[in-house]
Every structure is written in structure tokens, then in C-alpha cells.
């Protein structure tokens, strides 16, 4: 038997948005996991997908909360546009919503330093720095290079999260190989900050970045997991609104795969 639910447009539109959010977040985490100095494009695609996915998740939460508390009215376009693409402000608004509903979503100033920088980078990228490579062709342009910014975050992760023994192993191996080929090799490569790399640096950075990438993904997942809980809490309100059919879907089902399991996240290379 086929059941044809008369679902309202708001349900179907937010359902489509859920697929979009899930796809962007999954692609962003997958690209971030594979990004390194010789695969710089993956840094950019991860920034695009993560900034879009996180922004739209946060906006979806703001919209759902508004529908549930304003007699099914959706926010006006002007209200939504007031946030622009500012992921930091959207995150702060969702923290307020979570606090009001007793859901534990850490305030931005309670996040660890690396997570704060990741949110700042994604917010900057969503608003302006995604055009940095083109904008910076003009000598008068002043702005932060997102790739350089990622590089600084990577260095912080290497310092804080990656075991010293693992870093030393990579550095020793790159030194041995570089010493063996240095007299027959010319290296023309640049780091994430556009500085020229020596042969030894070019060999070492890929391995170091690969180690840092898994922890970068872990930091992002740790930020998103509480938002999954908030998504679940808000989505369940659909069944309390006394409507013939739910006005929005169970949005948490689109991001159910965001589990803060350290060993699982560190092992995983493809998302979801």
C-alpha cells in the first residue's frame, strides 16, 4: 500500500536542505582529511563545503526554532539576511537557542583555541576570503589568506595533538631521503604561506599535514556533535505543534553520522 502524506512545503524544502547540509559536511570533512601541502585544492574545497554546510545547518536551526515559537511563521528574508554569512554570529544565536532549551552547546568562548580559530576561519571564508586569490591581485587589497590561515591552524594542531614520536619519525625519514637525492634534485614548491620549500620540507610536510588532518577533522566533529543534539531537540517540536502533518522533518537524521567518537573519527577518511 502506498501512503501519500500531504506534507507541507516547509517540510519538503527543509528536507531538501537536509540533504544539502549532509552532503556539504560529508564532502568537507572528506576533503579536509585528504588535504596537504601538495593537495592544496582539497583545503579550498573543504573550506567551501564546510562553510556552506555549517552556515546552512545553523540557519536551519534558527528557522525551525522560529517556526516552532511563532505560530508556524518563518523568519522574513530580511531577518535571515541580517546574519549574512557570519558563521560566528549564527553559532552564537544557536547557543542562545540551546541554552533556552537545556541543550549543552558550548559557547564560542568555551571552545578550545583551535576550534575557535576554525570557526573564525570558516566565518571569514564564508563572508569574504573565499575570493582572496582574485582580490589579492590588486595591490591595495588587505585581507587574510585562508590557505595561510589554515597553515597556522595546522601548525597549532601539530604542536598540540600529534604525538612527538610520530612527528620525529616523519622528520627523520624526510631527512634521510632528502640527503640521498639532494644533489640530483631541484625542488620548486611552496608552502601554505607561499614560502619556497626545501626538498626536505617538501618531503616532510605531506606526512605532517596528513597527521594533522585527522585531528583537524576531530576538532570539527567535536564542534558539530552538540549541534546534532540541538537539531534533534528542535526537530522533535514538529510533533507538538498540533498540525495534520509535521511542518519540518527530523533534521537530525541527515547528520546522525556526526558522532564524537575519538578513535572512530581519527580512523575515518571518507565521510559520512
Computed from CA positions of residues 144, 150, 151, 154, in that sequence, does the dihedral angle turn out positive or negative?
A: positive
Report whether 238 contacts 4 (CB < 8 A). no
Averaged pLDDT, 162-178: 98
Supply 82's cell numbers.
541580517
Which residues are registered as beta bridge partners of 237? none
pTM: 0.96
pLDDT over 80 at 101, yes or no: yes
State the Cα–Cα distance between residues 51 and 149, nearest whole angstrom: 15
SS3 196: strand
Contacts of residue 169, Cβ cutoff 8 Å, sequence gap at least 6: none
Query: pLDDT class for 206, splitting at 50, 70, 90?
Result: very high
Distances in whole angstroms, Cα of residue 127 to Cα of each of 69, 146, 174: 29, 12, 38
Which residues are registered as beta bridge partners of 196? 190
SS3 190: strand
- Side-chain half-sphere exposure of 22, counting CA atoms within 13 A: 16
Model confidence pLDDT, tens digit, residues 25-73: 999 999 999 999 999 999 999 999 999 999 999 999 999 999 999 999 9
pLDDT over 80 at 248, yes or no: yes
Averaged pLDDT, 77-96: 96
Domain ranges of the chain: 11-129+145-267
Contacts of residue 197, Cβ cutoff 8 Å, sequence gap at least 6: 37, 187, 189, 190, 191, 205
Contacts of residue 148, Cβ cutoff 8 Å, sequence gap at least 6: 192, 193, 194
SS3 241: coil
Q: Which residue has the cell 575515518?
A: 268
SS3 156: helix
Instruction: Give me the helices (H) in 128-198, please.
Output: 132-135, 146-160, 164-181
CB-CB neighbours of 40 under 10 Å: 15
Model confidence pLDDT, tens digit, residues 13-29: 999 999 999 999 999 99
State the Cα–Cα distance between residues 116 and 134, nearest whole angstrom: 26
State the Cα–Cα distance between residues 115 and 153, nearest whole angstrom: 9
Query: pLDDT class for 5, splitting at 50, 70, 90?
Result: confident
Report whether 105 contacts 90 (CB < 8 A). no
State the Cα–Cα distance between residues 201 and 187, nearest whole angstrom: 10
Name the residue with higher pLDDT: 239 or 143: 239
Query: pLDDT class for 3, splitting at 50, 70, 90?
Result: low
Amino acid at each position: 500500500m502506498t501512503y501519500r502524506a500531504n506534507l507541507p512545503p516547509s517540510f519538503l524544502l527543509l528536507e531538501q536542505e537536509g540533504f544539502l547540509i549532509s552532503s556539504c559536511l560529508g564532502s568537507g570533512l572528506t576533503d579536509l582529511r585528504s588535504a596537504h601541502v601538495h593537495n592544496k585544492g582539497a583545503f579550498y574545497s573543504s573550506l567551501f563545503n564546510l562553510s556552506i554546510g555549517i552556515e546552512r545547518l545553523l540557519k536551519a536551526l534558527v528557522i525551525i526554532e522560529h517556526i516552532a515559537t511563532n505560530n508556524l511563521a518563518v523568519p522574513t528574508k530580511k531577518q535571515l539576511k541580517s546574519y549574512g554569512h557570519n558563521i560566528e554570529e549564527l553559532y552564537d544565536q544557536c547557543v542562545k537557542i540551546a541554552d533556552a532549551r537545556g541543550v549543552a552547546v558550548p559557547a564560542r568562548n568555551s571552545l578550545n583555541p583551535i576550534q575557535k580559530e576554525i570557526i573564525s576561519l570558516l566565518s571569514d571564508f564564508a563572508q569574504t576570503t573565499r575570493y582572496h586569490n582574485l582580490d589579492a591581485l590588486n595591490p591595495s587589497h588587505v585581507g587574510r589568506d585562508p590557505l595561510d590561515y589554515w597553515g597556522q591552524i595546522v601548525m597549532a594542531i601539530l604542536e598540540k595533538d600529534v604525538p612527538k614520536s610520530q612527528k620525529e619519525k616523519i622528520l627523520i625519514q624526510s631527512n634521510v631521503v632528502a640527503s640521498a637525492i639532494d644533489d640530483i634534485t631541484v625542488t620548486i614548491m611552496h608552502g601554505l604561506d607561499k614560502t619556497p620549500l626545501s626538498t626536505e620540507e617538501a618531503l616532510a610536510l605531506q606526512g605532517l599535514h596528513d597527521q594533522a588532518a585527522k585531528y583537524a577533522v576531530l576538532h570539527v566533529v567535536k564542534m558539530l556533535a552538540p549541534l546534532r543534539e540541538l537539531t534533534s531537540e528542535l526537530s522533535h517540536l514538529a510533533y507538538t505543534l498540533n498540525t495534520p502533518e509535521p511542518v519540518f522533518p527530523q533534521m537530525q537524521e541527515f547528520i546522525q553520522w556526526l558522532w564524537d567518537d575519538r578513535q572512530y573519527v581519527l580512523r575515518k577518511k571518507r565521510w559520512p
